[in-house]
Amino acid sequence: MTNLLTRRSLLSKAAVASGIGGVSGCLGSVGRTTFLFSTFPVGESLTELTDSFIEADPTQIEAQFAIDYPDAYKRELVDTLIEEGTVDVVGWQLAYDRSFGTTTRPEPQFIERDGTYYSVTETGRTERTVSRWVFYLDLVDETPTSSDTVVTEPPSSLSETDQLLVERALEPVWGHGGAVDVDDRPLGGRGPTFHHKLDPDASELVPSAPFDYLNRDDAYFVPRTERGPVKQTRYTFEVEPVASSQSELESYVDSAVVDATFGADNSTDGVISILETATDLGSGRRYKERGSMSDDLTTIADRLGMTDNIPTEQSGYVSLNGAVISFSGTWYRASLSRR
């Protein structure tokens, strides 16, 4: 096993914003400032915590399209990622970063292949505009004539994929508020896009649907299929081997992912009191302070690597999400917000 990641190497992959400055216990001196420290339990053992970060089957992660990528294609992408250490993919996010004040932090994500555990991180993303077919339903004022074909559901004569496309096209135009006109939205926001693994030549909806109107509670929609500019996100992911067994992975998580362990032997009574409130179900697992941030809460923020990433400016909402703590035999995700 080689190339073990460290917390520093994980954080180095995050994009660090400018303007980071030292922050002391006088943070939030404006009287109306509110600090909220909250937690969410993720495991009663290090094993449970580690398991929460393992993606047992990456093909279960859905693409950012109305129609998901085929599982076989996803497996090819994972194979490439493992074999080459990196992969580029459009609209399929295998890993992501959490907001962390003036910076971001990678969310721990592991996949296993042949007994080796790999850490997956996003190392880049680019926005691009491509030409794609889009199917959508256009709300119209007109009413059908007797010669028009009107449906109320996706026609059963369509293929399963085409039926699903019609169902997905209904989602942005019909909700609790009734009918919605999407005609003024960018083309990619009107309905499902045909991505590069969804063949428009195999669809009966391209270039035009085999029905004239879809009626939903006396609101009439005309099916439209257009080819035009659509914005897409291309992600780059990398993997590094971090363990060759479950036990080694747990040791790695304990050293590189867990930000701090709090207990009576290394924490003041004030710190323990805050954590007891922030982890208590009866308090909603929330601890709140108004005005200046107390020394005890500052101590917690220091140990979680938060303090240096809290903006020195007093205005505006800021959140630092996804820190990992151990307290009283339970592991938690911890977040701090200021508003």
- The single residue listed with the structure tokens 């959508």 is 136
Q: What span, in angstroms and rounded, lies between the C-alpha atoms of 103 and 336?
A: 14
Nearest-CA neighbor of 170 among 157, 159, 179? 179
| Cα-trace Rg, the chain | 25
Pairing status of strand 318-327 against strand 330-338: antiparallel
Contact 124, 118 (CB under 8 A): no
Q: DSSP letter at 234?
A: E
Which two structure tokens, joined as six digits, stand for 68?
A: 């998901």
Half-sphere exposure of 284 (CA within 13 A, CB side): 6
Q: Determine the 3-state secondary structure of 60 from DSSP.
A: helix
Cβ atoms within 10 Å, residue 191: 26
Q: What span, in angstroms and rounded, lies between the C-alpha atoms of 119 and 109?
A: 6
At 316 the pLDDT is 83
Cβ atoms within 10 Å, residue 87: 21
Helix (H) or strand (E) holding 36: strand 34-43
**Which residue type is seen at 303?**
R
Q: What span, in angstroms and rounded, lies between the C-alpha atoms of 223 and 136?
A: 6
Q: What span, in angstroms and rounded, lies between the C-alpha atoms of 28 and 319?
A: 14
Q: What span, in angstroms and rounded, lies between the C-alpha atoms of 204 and 211?
A: 10
- H-state helical runs in the chain: 7-12, 46-51, 71-84, 160-170, 246-252, 269-278, 295-303
Nearest-CA neighbor of 78 among 61, 98, 103, 101? 61
Angle between helices 295-303 and 269-278 (to 10 degrees): 70
Residuewise pLDDT in 10s, the chain (339 residues): 434 444 334 433 333 333 333 333 444 444 589 999 999 999 999 999 999 999 999 999 999 999 999 999 999 999 999 999 999 999 999 999 999 999 999 999 999 999 999 999 999 999 999 999 999 999 999 999 999 999 999 999 999 999 999 999 999 999 888 999 999 999 999 999 999 999 999 999 999 999 999 999 999 999 999 999 999 999 999 999 999 999 999 999 999 999 999 999 999 999 999 999 999 999 999 999 999 899 999 999 999 999 999 998 877 899 999 999 999 999 999 999 999
**Which residue type is seen at 61?**
I
At 31 the pLDDT is 59
Q: Which residues 6+ apart lie within 8 Å of 268 measured at CB?
A: 296, 299
Which two structure tokens, joined as six digits, stand for 280?
A: 């208590």
Cα dihedral across residues 75, 77, 83, 86: positive or negative? negative
Q: Determine the 3-state secondary structure of 66 from DSSP.
A: coil
